[in-house]
């Protein structure tokens, strides 16, 4: 079974600085998708960025980018120029491209932005 591990329960970063959130996963599959979701205090889960495993190029969305290392099964999220609105719980998630494509989430990293 697939697993997703986020080893940093909490992190803090100074406003305008850069922070990297770690995520590793375990799978025997070769084709899958990876995601980072953000959950602010409102509880609404918001998709931040996604990566297809067959793509070697790292995904980027404005200030958010990933470092996808398929061989190492690592999928870290980098947030540049951190803003107060980035404060939230961040979840890394895995989705199989196979028949059973349920999504598995990590336990999350709570990110604090220091003004």
Partner 1 sequence: GAGVSQSPSNKVTEKGKDVELRCDPISGHTALYWYRQSLGQGLEFLIYFQGNSAPDKSGLPSDRFSAERTGGSVSTLTIQRTQQEDSAVYLCASSPGRLRNTIYFGEGSWLTVV
Residues in contact with partner 1 by the rule CB under 8 A: 33, 35, 37, 42-45, 47, 50, 52, 91, 95, 97, 99-108
Smallest separation, CB 56 to partner 1 (Å): 17
H or E stretch covering 46: strand 46-52
Residue closer to partner 1 (CB basis): 71 or 99: 99
Residue closer to partner 1 (CB basis): 12 or 18: 12
Smallest separation, CB 1 to partner 1 (Å): 9
Residue closer to partner 1 (CB basis): 15 or 29: 29
Residue closer to partner 1 (CB basis): 42 or 62: 42
Smallest separation, CB 16 to partner 1 (Å): 28
Q: 42, 39, 44: which is closest to 88 by C-alpha? A: 39
Q: Which residues contact 91 (CB under 8 A, 6 or more apart)?
A: 6, 36, 37, 38, 39, 45, 105, 106, 108
Eight-class DSSP state of 45:
-
């Amino acid at each position: 079974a697939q697993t997703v591990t986020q080893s940093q329960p909490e992190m803090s970063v100074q406003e305008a600085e850069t922070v990297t959130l770690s995520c590793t996963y375990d799978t025997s599959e070769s084709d899958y998708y990876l995601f980072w979701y953000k959950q602010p205090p409102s509880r609404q889960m918001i998709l931040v960025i996604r990566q297809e495993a067959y793509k070697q190029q790292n995904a980027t969305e404005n200030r958010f980018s990933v470092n996808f290392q398929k061989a190492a099964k690592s999928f870290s999220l980098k947030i540049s120029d951190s803003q107060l609105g980035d404060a939230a719980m961040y979840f890394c998630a895995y989705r199989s491209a196979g028949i059973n494509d349920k999504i598995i989430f990590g336990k999350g990293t709570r990110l604090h932005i220091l003004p």
